[in-house]
Amino acid sequence: MAPQRRGAPKAPEGSGAAERRRPSSTKSVRAPREVPRKWLRTAIPGACAVLAGLLLWGSLRGDGGVTEVLAHRGEMLPGRFIEVPCSEDYDSHRRFEGCSPRKCGRGITDTVITRDEAQRIRSIAEKGLSLGGSDGGASVLDLHSGALSVGKRFVNLYRYFGDKIQTVFSEEDFRLYRDVRQRVQLTIAQAFGISVSSLYLTKPTFFSRINSTQARTAHDEYWHAHVDKVTYGSFDYTSLLYLSDYLDDFGGGRFVFMEEGANKTVEPRAGRVSFFTSGSENLHRVEKVHWGTRYAVTIAFTCNPDHGIADPVFT
């Protein structure tokens, strides 16, 4: 904030300074003009120092606060897991013994999905999103429900495009999608010590394509901090498979775990899987994408079979 300019402070009545300010001589008239000059000579360097400090503090904070990188884009991680205390979010939902989170945390691995497989999965997203796309910066493709961003709304791609879908996707696309989902599910089960059969795929599970286009609707504002268990009550475990590379394909767009003191960021790279329990122990956001295009697929799991969904089927 810029310093406010002020006049010379008034001296108390009856003081010697007040007497000197009466126009009894030329020197007494000029004296008050020296006060602002001295003040400015003192205040301006001080204000500059404060401003420099604020700019430095702001640069350290970055887009979403002081950050520590949990997974660099150049790392090849066989597996990294950080356990955190569970929140109370799960207590307000029906618990399923042996599945509902008792052990909470977040993990990253680069060895479950290969970069070649990530490229093939990305091609599925590109083919589907070529049929539509949001007018804003965030587009969604959900192969389960058929939801596809088109302009400022969503359509059901299976109903909207009908038989044309047969020429867009292939049986191999859906087979690969199912295989990747199963491997991510197994990774989560092993990390949290639960049975893989106790986890059920849940909605929404979807592809996302994000670029720097200005948001047109609330659906385009992907950057707000949120808790998955609060936003989607069925979520117990959340995962993301990244399909493009931070700083090669896009700038910004890092995944940020919001924490007091220092946020923890994940830098996307194609084939990287990030997963975590869905409660407020893992409050998170995505940085705004500044350039390029960021692709990912969100794969969510629940412990409640009533909230489970089937894999998409190519027909």
Q: How many CB atoms lie within 10 A of CB 89?
A: 22
Rg of the chain's alpha carbons, rounded to an integer? 28
Instruction: Give the whole-angstrom CA distance, residue 121 versus residue 135.
Output: 23
Q: Is 294 a catalytic residue?
A: yes
Contact 254, 287 (CB under 8 A): yes
Could you say which DSSP state residue 226 is in? B
Contacts of 204 (CB under 8 A, 6+ apart): 142, 144, 145, 147, 232, 298, 300
Instruction: Give the whole-angstrom CA distance, residue 191 versus residue 196.
Output: 11
Catalytic residue among 122, 254, 272, 294: 294
3-state helix, strand, coil in the chain (%, to 5): 35, 25, 40
Smallest CA-to-CA distance from 307 within 239, 229, 242 is with 229
Contact 121, 90 (CB under 8 A): no
CA distances, 287 to each of 102, 104, 149, 277, 314 (Å): 29, 24, 21, 20, 34
Contact 195, 98 (CB under 8 A): yes
Q: Give, rounded to a whole angstrom, the gap between the first and last alpha carbons of the chain.
A: 62
CA distances, 56 to each of 50, 66, 232, 254 (Å): 10, 12, 38, 21
Q: Which sequence positions are flagged as catalytic?
A: 294
